[in-house]
Amino acid sequence: MTKLVVILLSAVFINNYVLSRFLGICPFLGVSKKLDSATGMSLAVIFVMLMATAATYPIQIYLLDPNGLGYLQTIVFILVIAALVQLVEIVLKRYLPSLHKSLGVYLPLITTNCAVLGVTILNIDEGYTFVEAMVNSLGSGLGFFLAMVMFSGVRSTIEGSDIPESFKGLPVTLTAAAITSLSFLGFSGVIENLFPM
Amino acid sequence: MNEILTAVIPVVIIGIICGAVLVIASKLMAVKEDERFPKIRECLPGANCGACGFAGCDGYAKALCEKEGTATNLCVPGADAVSKQLSEIMGVEFEDVIEQVAVVHCVGDCHKTQDKYDYAGIQTCSAAKLLYGGKGSCTYGCLGLGECVSVCPKNAISIVDGVARVNSRECIGCGLCTKTCPQKLITLVADVEKVVVTCSNKDKGAVTRKVCTNGCIGCKKCERVCPSGAIKVIDNCAVIDYSKCPDCEDFGVCAKNCTTGCIMLSDLSGLHRFKKEEK
């Protein structure tokens, strides 16, 4: 049980996918302008991460590994994730059209989101069991959510402040992202001391 | 050979399964689109000019589908033909479109104005305007570097002797040039009008006279001769209120009496009239 908590917390804070591993930067910069679209995007990512892990983990364990096809991991995972995202898009369009509209182009972009692919591959590499893999995906999704929500707050503050003309837009956003990611460095080592194993 | 097959077959099978799931899902959860939407969208010209007041042709089509009572005669570039098709699809009465034509309120070409300096900077009007209000002697006049030419979807504008000219036969009245012109010289005028003021200079008469032989000097002669009171000199420049023009008893008297000739008779009805005759 302690191990699950450690996996969850370290996925959220220490190995935060956006701010520590630098995966999934595109939606992080693209959709974080508004809080509600940032929340929607993050929920979609959490959902896709969980679905992707649930789908790819059995494929790896029961199909690829026994047949010595481990080298097909990347291409098969990309294929499965792309199909999943398309499925999510169809479902969203039917049942949550407003969220579908606000996500816009970023939902198809989850297809090639390296954070999602990264979670599924790292789950295998770390040698997690299925439950641990799911918990790790949930934690990674929550970490993404945390980063997105935090950064949308930072960006709304930036929007209201007086910035030199040449610094407006992407330069100030990237600098703010760097500082936000720096702050997450402070979490390293916390979990190990909280739960000595 | 076997190694290749063992790699290819699983991927193909997974791909087929994924594809099948997606096909089933898209069939099961297909979103019903308003069937009028694609039809309306097909009728519209697709210039995305925004003359209708909506965000592009898609926006107008959507508004027609979703909001009851959206007028069908808002598409100026499409003119009567589109309005007719739209009213058929929507099942409402056909309304005539008031076609509009872009008019450049400046004719101060190189024969009528002088240059203050040689401009060799970035060849756009907005850039040239930043340097002492442009190279021409008149700071209100056309800069002649053709920003309007570059946005015109129909190539209806050309620069002749350093001044933009609109070919009213080609102009569809989308109004993109009116938004682009940094001097705000271009306005849309209904194509039935016959007189236009071809000057936008707001300087006092003496100053205007020095910089351009065509400029409106604000002498108010047109104000006095106009029988219907449609012309007013505002800020030293004549402005025509076209709503009063139809009742004019002595048509064209303003143009005949203009001291500098900046009020001109002109035929704005080009393509649109041609279209009507065709029908």
Q: Are residues B149 and B248 in the same domain?
A: yes
Find the CB nearest A72 among B10, B19, B31. B10
Q: What is the DSSP letter of A24?
A: S
Predicted local distance difference test score (pLDDT) of residue B274: 42
Q: Are residues B142 and B83 in the same domain?
A: no
- Buried/exposed B242-267: b ≥16 CB within 10 Å, e otherwise: eeebeebeeeebbbeebebebbbeee
Contact across the interface for B14 and A87, Cβ inside 8 Å: no
Residue in the structure block whose two tokens are 């995007």: A41
Does any CB of chain A come closer than 8 Å to the CB of residue B23?
Answer: no
Nearest residue of chain B to residue A69 (CA atoms) = B7
User: In this structure, is residue B67 part of a structural domain?
Assistant: yes
User: In this structure, is residue B5 part of a structural domain?
Assistant: no
Q: Are residues B191 and B119 in the same domain?
A: yes
Instruction: Kindly calculate the radius of gyration of chain B based on its CA atoms and give it in whole angstroms.
Output: 27
Q: What is the DSSP letter of B238?
A: E
Q: Are residues B57 and B115 in the same domain?
A: no
Find the CB nearest A90 among B15, B18, B26. B26
User: In this structure, is residue A114 part of a structural domain?
Assistant: yes
Please give the average pLDDT of every successive group of 10 residues along chain B, which has 279 residues. Answer: 80 90 86 75 78 79 78 78 81 76 87 87 89 88 90 88 87 86 88 84 88 88 87 88 80 84 76 40
Contact across the interface for B18 and A59, Cβ inside 8 Å: no
Residue in the structure block whose two tokens are 């594809």: B19
Predicted local distance difference test score (pLDDT) of residue B272: 42
Closest CA to B251 of B221, B230, B233: B230
User: In this structure, is residue A143 part of a structural domain?
Assistant: yes
Does any CB of chain B come closer than 8 Å to the CB of residue A93?
Answer: yes
User: In this structure, is residue A9 part of a structural domain?
Assistant: no
Instruction: Kindly calculate the radius of gyration of chain A based on its CA atoms and give it in whole angstroms.
Output: 18
Per-residue pLDDT tens over the stretch A100-156: 776 666 677 777 778 888 899 988 988 889 999 999 999 999 999 999 999 999 988
User: In this structure, is residue B16 part of a structural domain?
Assistant: no
Predicted local distance difference test score (pLDDT) of residue A103: 67
Predicted local distance difference test score (pLDDT) of residue A11: 87
Contact across the interface for A69 and B29, Cβ inside 8 Å: no
Domain that holds residue B117: 100-278
Give the Cα separation of A3 and A5 in Å (integer): 5
Contact across the interface for B11 and A72, Cβ inside 8 Å: yes
Does any CB of chain B come closer than 8 Å to the CB of residue A150?
Answer: no
Contact B102, B188 (CB under 8 A): yes
Does any CB of chain A come closer than 8 Å to the CB of residue B6?
Answer: yes
Contact across the interface for A90 and B25, Cβ inside 8 Å: yes
User: In this structure, is residue B156 part of a structural domain?
Assistant: yes
Of the two residues A81 and B96, the one the predictor is more confident about is: A81
Q: Which residues of A touch B19 (CB under 8 A)?
A: 83
Q: Are residues B122 and B230 in the same domain?
A: yes
HSE on the CB side for A179, CA within 13 Å?
9
User: In this structure, is residue B211 part of a structural domain?
Assistant: yes
Q: Which residues of A touch B18 (CB under 8 A)?
A: 79-80, 82-83
User: In this structure, is residue A4 part of a structural domain?
Assistant: no
What is the nearest CA distance from B8 to chain A, expressed in angstroms?
Answer: 9
User: In this structure, is residue A40 part of a structural domain?
Assistant: yes
The three-point CA angle A41-A38-A172 to 5° equals 130
Return residues 100-139 of A near B (CB < 8 Å): none
Number of structural domains in chain A: 1
The complex scores an ipTM of 0.70
Does any CB of chain B come closer than 8 Å to the CB of residue A72?
Answer: yes
User: In this structure, is residue B261 part of a structural domain?
Assistant: yes
CATH of residue B66: 1.10.15
Q: Which residues of B touch A79 (CB under 8 A)?
A: 11, 14-15, 18
Nearest residue of chain B to residue A73 (CA atoms) = B11
Does any CB of chain A come closer than 8 Å to the CB of residue B8?
Answer: no
Does any CB of chain A come closer than 8 Å to the CB of residue B160?
Answer: no
Of the residues B90, B108, B134, the one at which a domain ends: B90
Q: Are residues B104 and B241 in the same domain?
A: yes
Report CA torsion sign: B75, B80, B81, B85: positive
Does any CB of chain A come closer than 8 Å to the CB of residue B10?
Answer: yes
Residue in the structure block whose two tokens are 């190279």: B135
pTM value > 0.90: no
Domain that holds residue A25: 16-188
CA distances, B85 to each of B11, B35, B73, B78, B93 (Å): 50, 15, 10, 10, 11
Q: Which residues of A touch B10 (CB under 8 A)?
A: 63-64, 67, 69, 72, 76
Q: Which two tokens stand for residue A39?
A: 């929340």
Does any CB of chain B come closer than 8 Å to the CB of residue A55?
Answer: no
Whether A6 has a pLDDT exceeding 80, the answer reads yes
Per-residue pLDDT tens over the stretch A166-187: 888 888 989 999 998 888 888 8
Q: Are residues B68 and B172 in the same domain?
A: no
Q: Which residues of A touch B6 (CB under 8 A)?
A: 67, 69
Give the Cα separation of B268 and B25 in Å (integer): 55
Q: Are residues B127 and B239 in the same domain?
A: yes
N-to-C CA span, chain B: 69
Phi, psi of B136 (to 5 degrees): -70, 160
User: In this structure, is residue B176 part of a structural domain?
Assistant: yes
Number of helical H runs and strand E runs in chain B: 11, 8
User: In this structure, is residue A33 part of a structural domain?
Assistant: yes
Q: Are residues B179 and B59 in the same domain?
A: no
Whether A97 has a pLDDT exceeding 90, the answer reads no
Q: Are residues B123 and B233 in the same domain?
A: yes
Of the residues B90, B123, B154, the one at which a domain ends: B90
Return residues 25-44 of B near A (CB < 8 Å): 25-26, 29-31
Number of structural domains in chain B: 2
Q: Is B155 helix (H, G, I), strand (E, B) or coil?
A: coil
Q: Are residues B167 and B66 in the same domain?
A: no
Q: Are residues B108 and B230 in the same domain?
A: yes
Find the CB nearest A83 among B10, B21, B29. B21
Residue type, A51: M
